[in-house]
C-alpha cells in the first residue's frame, strides 16, 4: 500500500562486522582483481613498469583487493567521522602503494580520482575533504619515498616531483569538482525526498481515498484510507478491478470517462456508491481524472470522499418529510401522492380502487385518562396491526391524530372494500396490551368511511371517504359506511352551520335565558342558571343541543363561552345591585377548561361586573371532570382560589367511580333529570336518588335536583332533604325581565307551590 513512500534516510540497524566481511568477500566485482593482476604481469614483462619482482606486483594487487574488502567492512557502513577518514585514508594508502610500486607514481595520480569517486559514492559529499587531504598526504608520502629511494621511479629526479605537483593539483581540482557536484545532487535529492514525503503524508494520513487504476481499470495503487474505510486488504496486490466495487446504478458516469468521452486530463465529479468488504454500500463524492496520456500514471486517478453520513441524513430528512414520526407510516403528503398515482392508474387501466378512512372511536378518552404516552403507544400498535394485515399493493398511512387511511387497488367492485373494512375492525377488536399499561388491555373500536370507484382526482376520492367516515361517526361509531352522494349534502349543512356560527357572535345572535333555581325547603328562588340560545336568522331560536356540538368541534365554544360568562356575571351583578342576591350558574364546556386563558376569562368577568365570586357557580359535567388531566385539576383549583363555586352537572350519568369527588374541589351535585323523572317508576329509582342525596350529605356537598316537572317529584325530593331544585314546575328558562317578575311574586308562589296548588310556568 505504501509504495508511494520514499525510502527513509535512516539505513536501519547495522549488520555485524563479520557478516559484512563475508558479503564483501563474496562480491563478484572482486574478480576484477584478476585482470588487473594479469595486466601488471604483462606490463612487467614488457618493462612498462619498474623492474620489481613479479611476486611483488601480484602480492600488492591481491593485497589491495583484500584490504578493500576489509576496510569496506570496517567503515563503509559507519556514520562516524573518523571511520570515514580511516576508510578514505586506507583507500588512498592502498592506491598510493600500488601506484608508486610501478615507478609511475605521480603519473598514476589518476588512481586517486578513482578512489575519491568510490568514497564519494559511498559516503556522499561529506567525503570530499578527507579525499582531498588523504590524496595530498598519499602523494607527498609517495614523493618522499621516491626522494629517499624507497620507491622506484621511471621519471628522473627532480622532474618527477614537478610532475607530482602538477598531478596533485589536477587530482585535487577534479576531486573538488566531484565533491561539489555530489553536494548539489544531495541537496536536490533531499528536497525531492522532502516534497515526496509531504505528498505521501497528505495521501496516507487523509481520510479521503486515493486510487490509481491503469488504463484497463485495474487498481495499481490505493491509499491507506482504502483499507480503513472500505475494509479491503491492499487492493493493488489483488488485481482488483475498480468497477467491481461500484454500485450497478452508478456505472454510467464511469463508463463515460473510461470511454474517453470527456477527453484527456478531464475530471468528472460524481456521487457514487462503493461496496465495502462487509457488503454495505458507502456513498462517496468522487473526482476521477483521466490521466491515460500522462506517461507517469497511464491510467485514472480517483479521489474519493466518504459522504455516507451526509447522504444518510439527507435520506432521513427525505423520509421524515413524507412519513409520520410516531408510527413510521406514510403521512398525509405521501398518501396524497400515492392516491394521485393510484387514481391516475385506475383511470388509465380501468382498475377499481378504494380509499378507507379509519378513525379510532373515543381515542381522546384514552389520551385523557391514561395520558399521551399511552395514546402514542396505542397508535403505534394500531399502525403495526394495519401493516401486518394489508397486502403489499395496499398503502396505509396516518393522516394525523387517530385517523388512518388505507388505499387499496384492484379490489373486485362487489364486496372488496367492505371486506377490508371488516378486517380492519376485526384486527382492532383484539384487545391491545400496551407496554407499561399491561394491567388494562385496551379494547378499541373504529369507524370507517369508504369511497370507491373512478374519480376525477385523488382529492375527491379522499374527501368522499372522509364524508363517509363522518357519517359513520354520526351514526354512532363502531361501523363502516360506504360513501353515497346524498351524504355530501349533510356535510354541506354542517359546513353551513359552522359558517353561520362564526358570524353569530359578531352579529349578536346569541342570547341567554335564565332558569331559576329554588331552595326546596323554603321554595324560594335562590339562583338562576344561564342557558344559551341562538337566534338564527332563518331558523328561529335554536336550543343548545343543535349548535353546541358544532361550537365544540370548531373550538368556537371558547369565544362564545367567554361571552356567556361576561354576560351572565353582568346580569347577576345587576340583580345584586337591585337587591336580589341570586347565585348565577354558568355551564362550562370541556374545551374551555382545556385552555390556559380560562381562569383569566373568569377573573375578568368577575372584576368587570363587580360580582362577588361566591355568587358564581361553574357547572362542569361529570364526564369533563373525569378527564382528570393534571391541567384540568390545576385550573379547577385556581378557580376555587378565586372564590367561585363548582357544581357537577348531569351527576349520575357518567359511569365514574365516585372516588373522584374527593379529589376535586366540588361544591354541589346536580342530580340528572333522568333520575328525577324515573322516581315514579320504581322503588329502586327512589332509592337511587336517596343514595345520591346521602352521598352529597356525607361529603358535605349540596345536592340539587334537575328537571322537576311534577308536584309529587318536588314532594319526594323535599322528603329526601334534597337542598335545591330546578325544573319546569317552577319555571322554564326565561328572559331576565321574566326572572325579575318571578322574583317579586316568589313569596306568594312559594307558599302556593308548597301547598301544592300553584301552576308555576
Ligand atoms: P344543563 O346544564 O343540564 O341544563 C339544563 C337543561 O335542562 C336545559 O336545557 C333546561 O332547559 C332543561 N330543563 C330544565 N328544567 C327542565 C324540566 O323540568 N324538564 C325538562 N325536560 N328539561 C328541563 P337547555 O337549555 O336546552 O340546555 C341543554 C344543555 O346545553 C345544558 O344542560 C347544558 O349542558 C348546555 N348548555 C346550555 N347553555 C350552555 C352554555 O352557555 N355553555 C355550555 N357549555 N353549555 C350550555
Ligand atoms: Mg347546567
Ligand atoms: Mg344538567
Predicted pLDDT of residue 751: 41
DSSP 152-212: --SS-TTHHHHHHHHHHHHHHHHHHHHHHHHHHHHHHHHHHHHHHHHHHHHHHH-SSEEEE
Q: 230-235: long-range contacts at Cβ-Cβ below 8 A with a sequence spacing of 24 or more?
A: 230/274, 230/275, 230/276, 230/277, 230/282, 231/276, 231/277, 231/278, 232/277, 234/1, 235/211
DSSP-derived 3-state class of residue 121: helix
CA of 649 to the centre of ligand 3 (A): 5
Predicted pLDDT of residue 236: 61
Q: Give, in words, the CATH class of 323-483.
A: alpha beta
- Which stretches in the chain have pLDDT values below 50? 1-10, 413-414, 747-761
CATH number for region 206-313: 3.30.450.20
**Atom from ligand 1 closest to the CA of residue 733:** 11
Predicted pLDDT of residue 736: 95
CA of 571 to the centre of ligand 1 (A): 18
- The finding on whether 544 has its CB within 6 A of some atom of ligand 1 is yes
CA of 633 to the centre of ligand 3 (A): 21
The answer to whether 323-483 and 498-743 have equal CATH topology is: no
> For 535, phi and psi rounded to 5 degrees?
-85, 95
CA of 536 to the centre of ligand 3 (A): 24
Predicted pLDDT of residue 257: 65
Q: What is the pTM of this model?
A: 0.49
CA of 531 to the centre of ligand 1 (A): 6
543, 557, 587: residue to mutate for ligand 1 pocket, most atoms within 8 A of CB: 587
**Atom from ligand 1 closest to the CA of residue 551:** 44
Predicted pLDDT of residue 510: 97
516, 527, 544: residue to mutate for ligand 1 pocket, most atoms within 8 A of CB: 544
Predicted pLDDT of residue 259: 67
Nearest bound ligand to the CA of residue 671: 3
**Atom from ligand 1 closest to the CA of residue 589:** 44
Predicted pLDDT of residue 651: 86
CA separation for the pair 469, 475 (Å, rounded)? 10
Domain residue ranges of the chain, discontinuous segments joined by +: 2-190, 206-313, 323-483, 498-743
Encode pLDDT of 263-316 as tens digits.
677 888 888 999 998 989 999 999 988 888 888 888 889 999 999 999 888 888
User: Which residue's alpha carbon is at the smallest distance from atom 9 of ligand 1?
Assistant: 531
Predicted pLDDT of residue 749: 46
Encode pLDDT of 651-687 as tens digits.
877 655 566 677 777 899 999 999 999 888 888 888 8
User: Which residue's alpha carbon is at the smallest distance from atom 20 of ligand 1?
Assistant: 707
CATH number for region 498-743: 3.20.20.450
What lies within 8 Å, CB to CB, of 491 at 6+ separation is: 467, 470
- The finding on whether 649 has its CB within 6 A of some atom of ligand 1 is yes
- The finding on whether 709 has its CB within 6 A of some atom of ligand 1 is yes
Amino acid at each position: 500500500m505504501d509504495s508511494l513512500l520514499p525510502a527513509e534516510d535512516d539505513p536501519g540497524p547495522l549488520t555485524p562486522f563479520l557478516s559484512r566481511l563475508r558479503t564483501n568477500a563474496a562480491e563478484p566485482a572482486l574478480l576484477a582483481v584478476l585482470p588487473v593482476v594479469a595486466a601488471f604481469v604483462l606490463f612487467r614483462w614488457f618493462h612498462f613498469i619498474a623492474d620489481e619482482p613479479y611476486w611483488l606486483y601480484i602480492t600488492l594487487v591481491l593485497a589491495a583487493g583484500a584490504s578493500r574488502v576489509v576496510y569496506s567492512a570496517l567503515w563503509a557502513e559507519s556514520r562516524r567521522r573518523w571511520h570515514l577518514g580511516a576508510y578514505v585514508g586506507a583507500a588512498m594508502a592502498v592506491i598510493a602503494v600500488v601506484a608508486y610500486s610501478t615507478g609511475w607514481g605521480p603519473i598514476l595520480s589518476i588512481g586517486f580520482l578513482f578512489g575519491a569517486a568510490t568514497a564519494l559514492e559511498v559516503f556522499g559529499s561529506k567525503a570530499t575533504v578527507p579525499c582531498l587531504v588523504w590524496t595530498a598526504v598519499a602523494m607527498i608520502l609517495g614523493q618522499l619515498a621516491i626522494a629517499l629511494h624507497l620507491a622506484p621511479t621511471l621519471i628522473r629526479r627532480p622532474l618527477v616531483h614537478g610532475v607530482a605537483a602538477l598531478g596533485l593539483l589536477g587530482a585535487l581540482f577534479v576531486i573538488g569538482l566531484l565533491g561539489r557536484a555530489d553536494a548539489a545532487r544531495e541537496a536536490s535529492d533531499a528536497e525531492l525526498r522532502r516534497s515526496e514525503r509531504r505528498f505521501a503524508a497528505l495521501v496516507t494520513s487523509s481520510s479521503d481515498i486515493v486510487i490509481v487504476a491503469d488504463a484497463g481499470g485495474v487498481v495499481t495503487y490505493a491509499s491507506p484510507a482504502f483499507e480503513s474505510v472500505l475494509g479491503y486488504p491492499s487492493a493493488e496486490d489483488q488485481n482488483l478491478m475498480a468497477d467491481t466495487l461500484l454500485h450497478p446504478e452508478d456505472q454510467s458516469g464511469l463508463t463515460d470517462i473510461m470511454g474517453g468521452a470527456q477527453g484527456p486530463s478531464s475530471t468528472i465529479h460524481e456521487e457514487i456508491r462503493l461496496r465495502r468488504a462487509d457488503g454495505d454500500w458507502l456513498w462517496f463524492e468522487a473526482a476521477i481524472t483521466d490521466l491515460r496520456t500522462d506517461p507517469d500514471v497511464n491510467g485514472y486517478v480517483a479521489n474519493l470522499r466518504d459522504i455516507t453520513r451526509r447522504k444518510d441524513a439527507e435520506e432521513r430528512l427525505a423520509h421524515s418529510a413524507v412519513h409520520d414520526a410516531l408510527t413510521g407510516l406514510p403521512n398525509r403528503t405521501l398518501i396524497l401522492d400515492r392516491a394521485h398515482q393510484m387514481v391516475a392508474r385506475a383511470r388509465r387501466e380501468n382498475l377499481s380502487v378504494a380509499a378507507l378512512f379509519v378513525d379510532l372511536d373515543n381515542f381522546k378518552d384514552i389520551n385523557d385518562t391514561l395520558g399521551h404516552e399511552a395514546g402514542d403507544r396505542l397508535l403505534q400498535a394500531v399502525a403495526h396491526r394495519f401493516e401486518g394485515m394489508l397486502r403489499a399493493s395496499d398503502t396505509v398511512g396516518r393522516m394525523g391524530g387517530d385517523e388512518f387511511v388505507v388505499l387499496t387497488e384492484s379490489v373486485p367492485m362487489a364486496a372488496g372494500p367492505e371486506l377490508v373494512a371488516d378486517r380492519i375492525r376485526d384486527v382492532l377488536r383484539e384487545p391491545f396490551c400496551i407496554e407499561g399499561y399491561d394491567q388494562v388491555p385496551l379494547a378499541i373500536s373504529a369507524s370507517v368511511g369508504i369511497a370507491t370507484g373512478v374519480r376525477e382526482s385523488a382529492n375527491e376520492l379522499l374527501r368522499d371517504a372522509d364524508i363517509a367516515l363522518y357519517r359513520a361517526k354520526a351514526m354512532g361509531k363502531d361501523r363502516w359506511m360506504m360513501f353515497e352522494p346524498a351524504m355530501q349534502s349533510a356535510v354541506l349543512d354542517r359546513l353551513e352551520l359552522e359558517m353561520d356560527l362564526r358570524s353569530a357572535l359578531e352579529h349578536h345572535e346569541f342570547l341567554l335565558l335564565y332558569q331559576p333555581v329554588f331552595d326546596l325547603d323554603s321554595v324560594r328562588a335562590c339562583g338562576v342558571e344561564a342557558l344559551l340560545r341562538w337566534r338564527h336568522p332563518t331558523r328561529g331560536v335554536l336550543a343548545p343541543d343543535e349548535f353546541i356540538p358544532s361550537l365544540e368541534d370548531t373550538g368556537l365554544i371558547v369565544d362564545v363561552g367567554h361571552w356567556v360568562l361576561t354576560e351572565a356575571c353582568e346580569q347577576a351583578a345587576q340583580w345584586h345591585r337591585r337587591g336580589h342576591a341570586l347565585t348565577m350558574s354558568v355551564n362550562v364546556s370541556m374545551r374551555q377548561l382545556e385552555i390556559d386563558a380560562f381562569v383569566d376569562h373568569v377573573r375578568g368577568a368577575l372584576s368587570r361586573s363587580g360580582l362577588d365570586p361566591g355568587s358564581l357557580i361553574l357547572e362542569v359535567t361529570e364526564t369533563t371532570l373525569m378527564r382528570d388531566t393534571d391541567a384540568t385539576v390545576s385550573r379547577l383549583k385556581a378557580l376555587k382560589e378565586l372564590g367561585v363555586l363548582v357544581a357537577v352537572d348531569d351527576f349520575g350519568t357518567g359511569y365514574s367511580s365516585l372516588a373522584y369527588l374527593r379529589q376535586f374541589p366540588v361544591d354541589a351535585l346536580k342530580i340528572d333529570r333522568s333520575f328525577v323523572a324515573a322516581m315514579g317508576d320504581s322503588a329502586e329509582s327512589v332509592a337511587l336518588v336517596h343514595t345520591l342525596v346521602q352521598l352529597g350529605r356525607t361529603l358535605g356537598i349540596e345536592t340539587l335536583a334537575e328537571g322537576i316537572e311534577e308536584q309529587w317529584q318536588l314532594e319526594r325530593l323535599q322528603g329526601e332533604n334534597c337542598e335545591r331544585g330546578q325544573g319546569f314546575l317552577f319555571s322554564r328558562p326565561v328572559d331576565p325581565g321574566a326572572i325579575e317578575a318571578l322574583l317579586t311574586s316568589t313569596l306568594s308562589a312559594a307558599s302556593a307551590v308548597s301547598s301544592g296548588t300553584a301552576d308555576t310556568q
